[in-house]
Amino acid sequence: MSDISGIIFSEYTIHLAILVGLYAILAQSLNLTFGLGQLFNLAHVASYAIGAYTTALLSTEAQWQFVPCVAASILLSGAFSVFLGTIALRLTNDYFAIGTLAFGAVVSSLLINWRSVTHGVLGIPGIPRPEILGLDMYQNSNFLALLLVFVVAVQALYFAISRGPFGRSLRALAEYDQAAAALGINTRLVRNVAFLLSSAAAGLAGSFFAYYLNYIDPTSFAFGEMIFLMTIVVVGRPGSFFGVLLSTAFLVLLPEPLRFLNLDSATLGPMRQLLYSLILFAVVWWKRRSIFPEQREV
């Protein structure tokens, strides 16, 4: 009996570790734009969805292998951000937020209504886990190991960015765009590159998400997911590398005890949303002066 509970427990732990890993990529990449760059990017989940659907469609309908699927997810999500960036980055502050929100809504609506490609609300089933170096990825511990390679690579990249010249120029234009431009910094280029790197990583997370669940549908990419990601960044302190890493683990694991309350899933879902919304609201209220210091202008 204790053997079985031990196995269940470890499967459960591995599942949680995979979730934390996925969200560590999603939240840290959002932290680049929303945190370091103070760009109110509400299209991050759209990038995530594009990555997930790319891998889902290519691996089922075209039987592409792991590497080309992941690469295609990263590239398409990156391309989406370039397209979105050339339009939305012409807008500033609140207007930028509204612009990215609109694009996010367009992507959401495409997932549901462009049935010939996305299969609408039915979603895409039967996404096969890859086989790599002869390892069976249906074994979650193997899948976790594979994911961790990417999680570490992405975190290393963002850590380097946060300490290096690129992160510095991004922080500069977040604080005083025109003073950064007066030093010769191409502020539009820096923003676009940040947006690209952030969106490409969300695409990577989407690809792994599709492989992990074997099935995706539009509900995973609803606006509640965007609120959750923002909550992670805000609680971790926007722009803080380690803060966001810690708050990812904390907030992903936080609602887990709710599982043991024996609630049905129709109650559990909204309860988690409510919990995250309350946390987001509380932190924003409590730290309303310091989360986003006012941007200066000439």
Partner 1 sequence: MLSISGLEVSFQGSPVLNGLSLSVVAGETVGIIGPNGSGKTTLFNCISGFVTQRGGTIALRGEEIQDLQPNARALRGLGRVFQNFGVFRNMTVLENLLLALESRSDQMLSILPWSSGRAQQKEQALALLREVRLEEKASLKASSLSGGQMRLLEIIRTVAAGAEVFLLDEPTAGVSPRMKDDVTGIIRRLQELGKTVMIIEHDITFIERFCTRIVVVNEGRIVLDGTPEQVRSDEQLKEIYFGRA
Q: Which is nearer to partner 1, 126 or 293 (CB)?
A: 293
Shortest spacing between CB 172 and partner 1, in angstroms = 5
Closer residue to partner 1 (CB): 132 or 181: 181
Site string for partner 1, 32-71 (x = CB under 8 A): ----------------------------------------
For the record, the structure tokens of 189 come out as 């280029």
Nearest-approach distance from CB 227 to partner 1, in angstroms: 26
| Using rule CB under 8 A, residue 200 touches partner 1 | no
- Amino acid type, 224: G
Q: Does 90 bind partner 1 (CB under 8 A)?
A: no
Q: Does residue 101 touch partner 1 according to CB under 8 A?
A: no
Cβ proximity to partner 1, 52 vs 89, nearer residue: 89
Distance from C-alpha of 52 to C-alpha of 28, rounded to nearest angstrom: 18
d(CA 286, CA 269): 26
Map the footprint of partner 1 across residues 147-186, applying CB under 8 A: 157, 160-161, 163-166, 168-169, 171-172, 175-176, 178-186
Our finding on whether 15 is near partner 1 (CB under 8 A) is: no
Tokens encoding 143: 């899948």
**DSSP secondary-structure letter at 295?**
P
Q: Which is nearer to partner 1, 187 or 273 (CB)?
A: 187
* Nearer residue to partner 1 within complex by CB, 181 or 275: 181
b/e burial code for range 179-194 (CB count within 10 A of at least 16 → b)? ebeeeebebeebbbbb
DSSP secondary-structure letter at 216? B
- What is the residue type of 44? H
The answer to whether 257 contacts partner 1 (rule: CB under 8 A) is: no
- How many residues comprise the chain? 298
Using H for helix, E for strand and C for coil, what is the string for 121-176? Answer: HHCECCCCCCEECCEECCCHHHHHHHHHHHHHHHHHHHHHHHHCHHHHHHHHHHHC
Q: Could you say whether residue 134 binds partner 1 (CB under 8 A)? A: no
Query: Which residues lie near partner 1 (CB under 8 A)?
Result: 157, 160-161, 163-166, 168-169, 171-172, 175-176, 178-187, 189-190, 193, 293, 296, 298
